[in-house]
Chain A
Amino acid sequence: MLNIKCPYCGERAQKEFAYGGDGTIKRPELDKSVTDKEWDAFVYERKSPRGKHVEFWHHIFGCRQWFRAQRDTVTHEIFKTVKLDEEI
């Protein structure tokens, strides 16, 4: 079980969190015309990198804030967790 530092609450057990997938995904702006290819990339296409991965986590049994974490997918080391308006 991972130990995750919520940027708002501090270190908590993984049990309190929900994983939110790739943290670099940007939703196309509303009302903007996008090609099928661009839309598919947003909806479906995700990389599964070996090594560093920026991802969303949701402190679901805590402050209910979404935030970003940089985690190593091999060792599970979490290098950094940041609020959404902070750089990672």
Chain B
Amino acid sequence: MSQPFRLDNEGLINRDKKISFTFNGSKYFGYEGDTLASALLANGIHLVGRSFKYHRPRGFFGAGVDEPNAKLQVTINGYSEPNVNATEIELVEGLSATSQNCWPSVKFDIGAINNFLSRFFPAGFYYKTFMWPKSFWYKIYEPFIRKAAGLGVASISKDNERYEHKYEYCDLLVAGSGPAGLASAYAAAKNGAKVILAEDKPRFGGTLLTDNVTIDNLSGKDWAEKIISELKEMPNVIVKNRSQVFGYYDHNMTVMFERIGDHLEKRNKYSPRQRLWYIRAKQVFLATGSIERPIVFGNNDTPGVFLSSAAKEYIKVYGVLIGKKPIIFTNNDSAYETALEFKKHGINPVVIDTREDQKSDLIEEAKIQDIEIKFSHAVIAAHGYKKIKSASIGKLNQDKTDFENIERLNCDCICVSGFWTPTVHLASQSGNKLKFDEKIDAFIPDKAKQNEKSLGASNGIFNLKETLKTSFEIGTETSKSITKNGKSILVPNVNEKKHSDHDKFWCSPLPKGKNYKRFVDFQNDVAVSDIEIALREGYRSIEHVKRYTTLGMATDQGRTSNLNGLQLVANIEKKIVPQVGHTTFRPPFTPITIGAIVGREVGKEYMPTRKTPMHEWHEKNNAVFTDAGAWKRPRYYKLGNETLSEASRREAKNVRDNVGVCDVTTLGKIDIKGPDSAEFLNRVYTNSWLKLPIGKSRYGVMLREDGIVMDDGTTTRIEDNHYHMTTTTAQAANVLSHLEYYLQVVWPELNVNVVSTTEQWAGAALAGPKSRDVLSKLFPDLNVSNQELPFMGYTEGNLFGVHARVFRISFSGELAYEINVNSDSGLFMWEKIIEVGKEFNLQPYGTEALSTLRIEMGHVAGPEIDGRTIPYDLALEGLVSKKKDFIGKRSLQKEAFSTQDRQKIVGLVPIDKKTSIPEGSHLVKDKDAKLPNPKLGHVSSSCWSVENNNPFSLAILKDGRNMIGKKLYAVSPLNKTAVEVEIISSHYVDKEGTRVRS
């Protein structure tokens, strides 16, 4: 198989290694070092896709990030990715690519009918058409738009690749390894600065790889290689290729996207596919170069139209000719270099130059080489559908608004150059307000807002000598301020050809009677006429024009279209470009993968998993776990084929009848010490704490300053100035921050210290009428009688050699204890409890049974303490002290919090005693009332009461205290249920609280 457009002795590819790949089902080959684009072009493939709106045939236009058209669906190793830029992806063995946005094929695309209907698809078409009738939106318009607007197809299979994040700090980050980047990085590194040099492309050197220059008698490419190899040797320098700095954030943080494995046929097992670097640099140099901008002309989107710089890059880097009969269409000198490259390989280009006869080194050279040049000419339109066949060119009149005579030239490609646009994206992202430089008709960075500096072409300097000189100087200067070393570097001798001035010509006029489509933005199919319509319809702000026409909005971010779009708006509005302004540049500079953004935080690594010391035992005993924040808690322990409700009822019933044990390690625990601890607790909790004796626990409720209940729990006085506070599992972290805030910010005069001890203690709750029997077997030395260790009592003991804290507290409403030992002994304690408890029918119980037990008892938890309830609502008003002040007290006096018919917690039982009430149901008077049906309250927690053997729920109900005995409906439109319920007290079991005190 031969490659008809591959040159024999040119390019930086490795011809010893052939790589085969498929495109739209056909097999091709390229070489190592090719991009998918260069390999296709070597095979003469130009047509790669269909345009977004009109489905016009599209080919390659650029050779790198400037490419607006060649977005392909690419599959490697069975994993498929959409919208991959063919000019950026490196060829690897087995790669398979297909065109997007076309059906049934790229060569015959039915959607292309849009092109012939294009006058019905003007700017704002979707906005105008799909407004009425409203009911059409869901069924007809939206599905249609979704189908029509699709680019590639996202893979639905799991991404098995590994992605990593890395954090790095340095003195200087240099983005770009062209002449400016190399010189500045080198000067700073030589003076000892810690430097990171990032290059987006696989090869270092930027324009030095393609420009015909010499530096110190070396070719640009060889000089770049020399500098890079020196930098790589320096211990203070990190040099990265395939790494794009794509975002510039606050405080000089930049983010870099490194492609580590994408180009490798066989990847290192231990390295990730891609890596995201968060780099905090003292100084950032932006040496991001410039992108050639096109001149707009008729049918300028025809396959075969390229940027002139891209044509040169395909020759010099990949040894590929984009055509054999080229037209070079330019308003400046740089395209002559492309013409000379063609000529060097025996191809005769025709140069169409919009300027009058020019004199410069390059043009002289072209003339010497016998290249045909037509000055004062412009390309009017390209002809050909799937590939360019010829072009209409014309002689421009005096003011360049019309043509004097028009002729047709046969050609197979047009290389267009409308001068250069500095790549200012990162500078703009950093907060730099850009300024318009009349000399180059483009925006360049203005005053820096952060520590950044643009160098070389990205700063509008297109001359190598000056670029190197300023970059060496700034590199030295910057490192001096950081490292105190300021040895200046000798600026090398540069040999480059001088350019003459460019012409401001940017768009070919339409000859009379012709209505060629002239595209400004290829990727979003925005033509000159679309922008004209937007302005005619009254859009003025460039941001509005952008959104209405979608100019510059696609994945290429308008890299080749922005300035021409601005120029057009300026012309119509009779303004100048800086008055029009520019739209905002946003990260990422080019699309990056979601995988890289996510990094390792997927699946079970999404957040850390917290396991209690008894976790292993739970696993061995068929626990089914549930997530409580980051914790894993047993939800129930499955016996045989039990369902969740069977198991939880069995476990809960066994607590009521015998005794159960529950792992409560996850409860938040805070150790409080200091002489003012009691006073502090007195301010934090709503009830009074000054007189709590040593060895006693107390239940407390804490509020936020707005009067809403924040958390509840028990706190125990261990010693004189030492307390042990417990919080709910969910609120542990918030409560600690809350306490620290008051101790540090509000009442620094209080001498109190708080520290989290959640992970230091393992906890087991022993609950049920037989729990005392188990406890006395665990602590034979301890007197655990009701007199010695009464309800809310506390003691310490020796559990088979392990120091233990024993609290007589209860969440289940039964006689209950909580035992804490140091975490390392948690499993030991647990196994002892199981062993000793056997003879009393002790069973472990999970969170589902725990909930059942507390709901039956009317104890509130997370579903009731939901950020909307005050103590009264939860029937906790008895715990609110009238005598002392505390956090949030003043809010309770406010009118809304003291009305007579306020919501309050109640219990619900279904009238039929059978039908469960879904949590979240609304309580209403009339289940069939017209919507909106007035809502009186909601069901917060539901369970199957094991005590009464019927469903029971807790609800927060308006005027709850006066509703007892009444009937309402609990409706859940989501579940399509309506249950008639009777309102009863929230205390469904042991209302008098005798069991906990028994």
Please give the residue numbers on chain A whose beta carbons come within 8 Å of chain B beta carbons, in ascending order.
1-3, 13, 18, 20, 27-28, 30-31, 34, 36, 39, 42-44, 56, 58, 60, 64-66, 75-76, 78, 84-85
Assess whether B890 is in contact with A34, with CB atoms less than 8 Å apart: yes
B598 CB → nearest A CB, Å: 16
Q: Which residues of B contact A85 (CB under 8 A)?
A: 748
Contact A58 B740 (CB under 8 A): yes
Q: Assess the A75–B740 pair: CB atoms within 8 A.
A: no
Q: How far is the CB of B460 from chain A (nearest CB, A)?
A: 25
Query: Roughly how many angstroms separate A70 CA and B251 CA in the complex, as a whole number?
Result: 15
Q: Shortest CB–CB separation between residue B893 and chain A, in angstroms?
A: 8
Please report the number of residue pairs spanning A and B whose Cβ atoms sit closer than 8 angstroms: 54
Is A30 a contact partner of B741 (Cβ separation < 8 A)?
Answer: no
Mask for B576-605, Cβ within 8 A of A = 1, else 0? 000000000000000000000000000000
Query: Could you tell me if B449 and A75 are in contact, using CB atoms closer than 8 angstroms?
Result: yes
B738 to chain A, nearest CB (A): 10
Minimum CB–CB distance from B942 to chain A (whole Å) comes to 34
Residue of B nearest to A35 (CB): B890
When the two chains form their complex, are residues B744 and A65 in contact, meaning their CB atoms are under 8 A apart?
yes
In the bound assembly, the distance between CA atoms of A75 and B431 in angstroms comes to 8
Nearest chain B residue, comparing its CB with the CB of A74: B431
Indicate which residue in A1, A13, A43, A64 contacts B740 across the interface (CB closer than 8 Å): A64
Of chain B, the residue at the smallest CB distance from A39 is B890
**Pairwise interchain contact A20-B741, C-beta atoms closer than 8 A:** yes
- With A30-B885, A56-B745, A66-B744 as known contacts, state yes or no: A76 contacts B890, CB within 8 Å: no
- In this assembly, does B891 line the interface, its C-beta being within 8 Å of a C-beta of chain A? yes
Interchain nearest-CB distance for A78 vs B (Å): 8
CB-defined A-B contacts under 8 Å, sample of 5? A2-B250, A13-B167, A34-B890, A60-B737, A64-B740
Given A1-B253, A18-B737, A58-B737: A27 and B746 within 8 A (CB)?
Answer: yes
CA distance A60 to B738 in the complex (A): 12
B740 cross-chain contacts in A, Cβ below 8 A: 58, 64, 66
CA distance A56 to B746 in the complex (A): 12
A66 pairs with B741, CB closer than 8 A: yes
Chain B: minimal CB distance from A13 (Å): 8
Q: Which residue of B lies closest to A56 (CB)?
A: B745
Q: Are the CB atoms of B890 and A66 closer together than 8 Å?
A: no
List B contacts of A42 (CB < 8 A). 705
Q: Is the CB of A36 within 8 A of B894?
A: yes
B278 within 8 A of A: yes
Interface string of B222-260 (1 = CB under 8 A from A): 000000000000000000000000000111110000000
Q: Given A39-B891, A56-B745, A65-B744, does the pair A1, B250 have CB atoms closer than 8 Å?
A: yes
Chain B nearest CB: distance from A81 CB in Å? Answer: 13
Cα distance A60–B705 when bound, in Å? 21
- In the complex, whether B546 has a CB less than 8 A from a CB of chain A is no
Q: Is there a chain A Cβ closer than 8 Å to B356's Cβ?
A: no
Counting chain A CB atoms within 10 Å of each CB, which of B167, B253, B890, B891 scores highest? B890
Q: Nearest 10 A-B pairs (CB), nearest first?
A: A3-B251, A30-B885, A76-B250, A66-B744, A31-B885, A39-B890, A27-B746, A43-B705, A1-B253, A66-B745
Chain A nearest CB from B56 CB (Å) reads: 42
**Cβ of A75: which chain B residues have Cβ within 8 Å of it?**
431, 449
Contacts of B683 in A (CB 8 A): 30
Contact of B891 among A2, A31, A43 (CB under 8 A): A43
Min CB distance B793 to A, Å, is 31
B912 within 8 A of A: no
Most buried by A among B431, B449, B706, B746: B746
**Nearest A residue to B431 by beta-carbon distance?**
A75
* Least distance between A50 CB and chain B CB atoms (Å): 15
- Chain A residues, CB < 8 A from B167: 13
Q: Is the CB of B745 within 8 A of A3?
A: no
Residues of chain B with a CB closer than 8 A to A2's CB: 250-251
- Check: B293 CB closer than 8 A to any chain A CB: no
CA distance A42 to B891 in the complex (A): 11
In the bound assembly, the distance between CA atoms of A31 and B887 in angstroms comes to 11
Please tell me if the beta carbons of B280 and A84 are within 8 angstroms of each other in the complex.
no
Known pairs A18-B737, A20-B741; A84 contacts B249 (CB<8 A): no
Please give, as numbers and ranges, the residues of chain A lying within 8 Å of B746 by CB-CB distance: 27
- A75–B249 CA distance with the chains assembled, in angstroms: 11
- Tell me the complex Cα distance, A18–B733, Å: 12
CB pair A1 B251 closer than 8 Å? yes
**How far is A60 from B737 in the complex, measured between Cα atoms in Å?**
8
In the complex, which residues of chain A have a beta carbon less than 8 angstroms from the beta carbon of B748?
84-85
Contact partner of A84 (CB less than 8 A), chosen from B278, B745, B891, is B745
Bound-complex Cα distance A56 to B744 (A) = 11
Could you tell me the distance in whole angstroms from the C-beta of B690 to the nearest C-beta in chain A? Answer: 14
What residues on A are CB-neighbors of B745 within 8 Å?
56, 66, 84
Contacts of B890 in A (CB 8 A): 28, 34, 39
Which A-chain residue is minimally distant from B889 (CB atoms)? Answer: A30
A27 to B250, CA, bound (A): 32
Query: Which residues 675-710 in B have Cβ within 8 Å of A in the complex?
Result: 683, 705-706
> In the assembled complex, which residues on chain B have CB atoms less than 8 Å from the CB atom of A28?
890
Can you name the residue of chain A whose Cβ is closest to the Cβ of B705? A43
Whole-angstrom CA separation of A31 from B463 in the bound complex: 74
CB distance from B804 to the nearest CB of A (A): 29
Instruction: A1-B253, A56-B741, A66-B740 given; name 6 further pairs at CB < 8 Å.
Output: A20-B741, A27-B705, A27-B746, A31-B885, A43-B891, A64-B740
- Assembly CA distance A18 to B683 (angstroms): 24
- Which A residues are in CB contact (< 8 Å) with B891? 39, 43
Indicate if the CB atoms of A76 and B251 lie closer than 8 Å: yes
A18 → chain B, closest Cβ, in Å?
7
Q: A27-B746, A75-B449, A84-B748 are in contact. Are A3 and B741 (CB under 8 A)?
A: no
Binary interface profile of B, 264-301, with partner A (CB < 8 Å = 1, else 0)? 00000000000000101000000000000000000000
Q: For residues 881 through 902 of chain B, which have their beta carbon under 8 Å from a beta carbon of chain A? A: 884-885, 890-891, 894
In the bound complex, what is the Cα–Cα distance between A34 and B891 (angstroms)? 11
Whether B706 pairs with A44 at a CB distance below 8 angstroms is yes
Given A43-B706, A65-B744, A1–B249 Cβ distance below 8 Å? yes
Nearest-CB residue, chain B, relative to A31: B885
Nearest CB in chain A: distance from B427 CB, A: 15
Contact of B278 among A1, A18, A20, A78 (CB under 8 A): A1
Q: In the bound complex, do residue A58 and residue B431 qualify as a contact, i.e. CB atoms below 8 Å apart?
A: no
A3 to B706, CA, bound (A): 32
Contact present for A84 and B744 (CB under 8 Å)? yes
Chain B residues near A76 (CB-CB < 8 A)? 250-251
Query: A20 contacts which chain B residues (CB < 8 A)?
Result: 741
Closest to A44 in B: B706
Most interface-central of B253, B278, B744, B748 (chain A CB within 10 A): B744
**Please, which residues of chain A bring their CB within 8 A of the CB of B249?**
1
Pick from B280, B740, B741, B745 the residue with the most CB of A within 10 Å: B745
Which chain A positions have C-beta within 8 A of B250? Answer: 1-3, 76
Identity of the chain A residue whose Cβ is nearest the Cβ of B167 in the assembled complex: A13
**Once bound together, how far apart are the Cα atoms of A73 and B701, in whole Å?**
36
How far apart are B723's CB and chain A's nearest CB, in angstroms? 19
